[in-house]
Amino acid sequence: MRLLSSLLVAAAGLQAWPAPGAAPEDWAQVAQRAADGGCYKCHGEPPRRNVPTLREIAARYAAHRGRLDAATEKALVDRLHHGSTFSHIAAHEALSEEDAASFIRWLVAGGPDAR
């Protein structure tokens, strides 16, 4: 039964992650994933010490809103995934490529305030 429900969750998850250029994404679902994925353990309000909130990151990424090209998306995904020389965040590194890309697109669209 547990296996069945995780399969159902996985199937629902696939639907929630359309390929780039596919149907518009359901930001409420991505927001839920951020919550379920523990992003707010560090990026909540107030955030963990020295960690930006997801709203602050979204404000930084807003420069790309409406014109996020594939190369920029890839660069942001890579930075999230692999961090810098000084930061390796397990919760980031554990994300699949698609999940990371979805979170990036969501943050560019406004993150917690995306409509």
**Which uninterrupted H or E stretch holds 8?**
helix 2-16
Q: Which of 82, 91, 93, 113 binds ligand HEC (CB under 6 A)?
A: 91
Q: Which of 37, 56, 59, 98 binds ligand HEC (CB under 6 A)?
A: 37
Q: Which of 27, 43, 53, 77 binds ligand HEC (CB under 6 A)?
A: 43
Long-range Cβ pairs for the range 28-31 (8 Å, 24+)? 30/102, 30/103, 30/105, 30/106, 30/114, 31/106, 31/111, 31/112, 31/114
Nearer to ligand HEC, 8 or 82 (CB): 82
- Residues shown for the chain: 115
In contact, 54 and 27? CB cutoff 8 Å: no
Q: Which of residues 55-84 bind ligand HEC (CB under 6 A)?
A: 57, 76, 79-80, 83
Residues near ligand HEC (CB under 6 A) are 34, 37-39, 41-43, 51, 57, 76, 79-80, 83, 87, 89, 91-92, 95, 103, 107
